[in-house]
Structure formats: C-alpha cells, structure tokens
Structure 1
C-alpha cells in the first residue's frame, strides 16, 4: 500500500482527509511543518500532501527542504488563490496544487496521477549503457566496467540497484523504496536482503575503482550516489 505524508495543521481537515484516503493509502499525519519534515526524514513515503500555511516551518520551507534530497511528488493545499504565489510554489518544486475548499474526488484523482507519473519516472531502464565517474554499466551483459577495460559480472538485482542510483543521482533512497522498486514487492523490514546486495555492489565497484566513492550512506535516511 502506498504511503502518504499528510501535513495539515487543521485537525478537522486532517481528520477528514485521513477518513477519505485511508481506504486506499497508508496515511501518516503531521500537524506542523517541523513535524512533517521530521517524519519525512525518519520514514519512507510515496507522496506528500502539504498545506501551505503551517505552524513552525511553512509549507514553502518544507517544500524547499524536501527538494534538497528527494523528488517525491508533492501536492500543495492552499487557501490562497493568488496565481503568482501558486506559480512560485510550482517553480520551487511542487508537482500540483489544490485551492481550498476542494473536491475530494479531484484530490483523489490528482494523487493517482502523481503516483502514476512518479512511478513511470523512476522506472529502471536497462536498455542504454550507463556511465558514472570512471565506471560503465553494460545492460546487455549485466556487467560493470572501468576505463581500463576491466569488467565484472553483476547479479540482476545488483545491476538494477546501481542503474537506479545512476539514473537518479541526486535522490536519497530508503531501504523500503529500494526494495519496492527493485524487487517489486511490499517491504516488510527485511533489511538483510538489501544490505547484502548493496555490500556486494560496493565490493565490485572497489575492485574496479578504489580511488573514488560511489555509494554513500545518508545516516537515518538511506543511500545515494556520492
């Protein structure tokens, strides 16, 4: 089940949205911008519904901080219909917006569209040769090579992990996100499988290029390309 972070300071509105969305999604509620950011950093989500006016950090501040590490789809809820303000939020990284009061079915539809679009954007493409720093991924043979011509074989999941990271070099992936994207199954906390594959990828990379760091751990969140 897809996970949505709902950052809305109105208890009444948050309760209403939780009621209408919880049948289809796992909803985590935050009632301030500061709480929303903390939850985002600690947990894995597929989409954020973000109120513009919040106590603590504003919706715009939350948007800007999230965009420093993630391209997770964000739908802004705003009571302000000023088109210049809305345009600024979109330019700062919001994927969509709704002006209060809004139609519940329209919100549901916009959520579906964003999740579908985001899923398509993160689809792992293995038809093209991928390069990063001194390494090259070869999809036809599932191999990784260096500039000197040396190559090592990768298992399919190892290849997919590295291909995903290279295709989205600025994104931090949680273990839950990696598992669901690479294995195509719901994550139930089995970290060992992911840790073993990431460790194997790191070892093979080091054999080919021991002077550069390629995969870095973002403590408390996940991994990304260095």
Structure 2
C-alpha cells in the first residue's frame, strides 16, 4: 500500500488513544496526520470528512459501536486499512468482526512489537488479515485446536524465528515459563525438537 500519512484513531479512552498515536509516530518515523475521536459518531464524521490511510477502532465505542462503524465505512472505502483494537476475549465476537473484511485485529494488551508488525504487514503489501497471535490462539481453541491460547501464541512466535528469551520479553514473563510452554507444546504435538514443532504448526495452519 502507499505510505501511511493520515490515521484516524477511535477510542473512548483518551490515554489509550494518545498512547497509540505516539507509538505510530515512533514506528513510522515520519510526520503523520492523526485524528482522534472518542465515539463512533465522531469517527464516522472524521472518515466522511476525508478517508484516511489507516483507521484504528475500539469495539466498545459509545453512541455507535466500532462494529457498527465498520459496517458503514468499509463499503465506502477506496484505500483505508481498518484495524480493530479490543480488550475482549470472545472468539464469537472475533469471528463477527472478521466477517466485516477488516485488515487487522489486535488485543488492547498487545505489545509494541505487534503494532510494528501490523504496520510492516501493510507497508509490505501482504495479502490477508493480520491477526494478533493471542487472538489467533483464542480462535484456535474455539475450533478445537489442541493448544491453549498462550501455547499457540508461543508457538506462533517461535515460527517467526524468535528465541525463547525474546518470546519471554515479548510476553512479559520469565524464560522458565516459556520453557514450560515449549515442553507442553512438544508433548501435545509429538515433536522432538523446535523444528518439528514449527513444522507441525505450519501443517495445522495449512489444514485449518
């Protein structure tokens, strides 16, 4: 996609919105225009005023929900990428949101690393939807995938080439905790080493 220069952030929590704004400016390392709104109606007004390159929406917006906003603006969009930010952990809600043809779905508890990755995902022109690993893990559990959400998140990060220490840092936990998750994943997958665990992961992804 073209470079991101105009962003709308819809979040009724001011501190959260300002934090996202600051992080985006840091990641993009350029001067971008950011427009903040604290309700669904304000977000719609900003969109109709001028379509942005990127729109980040909290689902729990007052007056008009983030889902309602998406249903209205996506059919009108010519270029905008839509990313949903949510604190929810309901797989049924995630499925409902994904049906709106969004471009990214992130948990509000996500790390700076995941924000960086979704921006890179767009700027590299990758197809599909960027899904936060923790969201993907919850969806997998709902569909009968044998791993817990956290185990899936660890394995997904392993598949991206992260070391155990890097995963511990990203998930804000100890190295010994990650080693425990790795052992559980190994037992469930029948793998004998990291390479076999990652191969098992990719096989499951292809066949889902």
Band of TM-score, shorter chain: 0.5 to 0.7
- Mapped partners of 1:115, 1:26: distance in 2: 17
Match of 2:92 in 1: 84
RMSD: 2.0
Give SS of 1:117's match: coil
Of Structure 1 and Structure 2, the greater helix share is in 2
- Structure 1 residues 47-106: Cα deviation after superposition (integer angstroms, max 9, x where no partner): 111111001110000000011211521110011111111011011122111112110221
Is 1:66 the counterpart of 2:73? The answer is yes
- 5+ residue gaps, structure 1, are 122-226
Of Structure 1 and Structure 2, the greater strand share is in 1
Q: 1:3 aligns with which of 2, 6, 9?
A: 6
Contact 1:46 1:115 in 2 (8 A): no
Is 1:98 the counterpart of 2:106? The answer is yes
Give SS of 1:48's match: strand
Contact 2:51 2:77 in 1 (8 A): no
- Mapped partners of 1:76, 1:69: distance in 2: 17
- Mapped partners of 2:51, 2:88: distance in 1: 29
Give SS of 2:57's match: strand
- Structure 1 residues 90-127: Cα deviation after superposition (integer angstroms, max 9, x where no partner): 11122111112110221122023124438x89xxxxxx
Q: 1:43 aligns with which of 27, 50, 71?
A: 50
- Tell me the TM-score normalized by structure 1: 0.49
- 5+ residue gaps, structure 2, are 129-208
Contact 1:21 1:27 in 2 (8 A): no
Give SS of 1:113's match: helix
Is 1:17 the counterpart of 2:20? The answer is yes
Give SS of 1:53's match: coil
Tell me the matched-pair count. 120
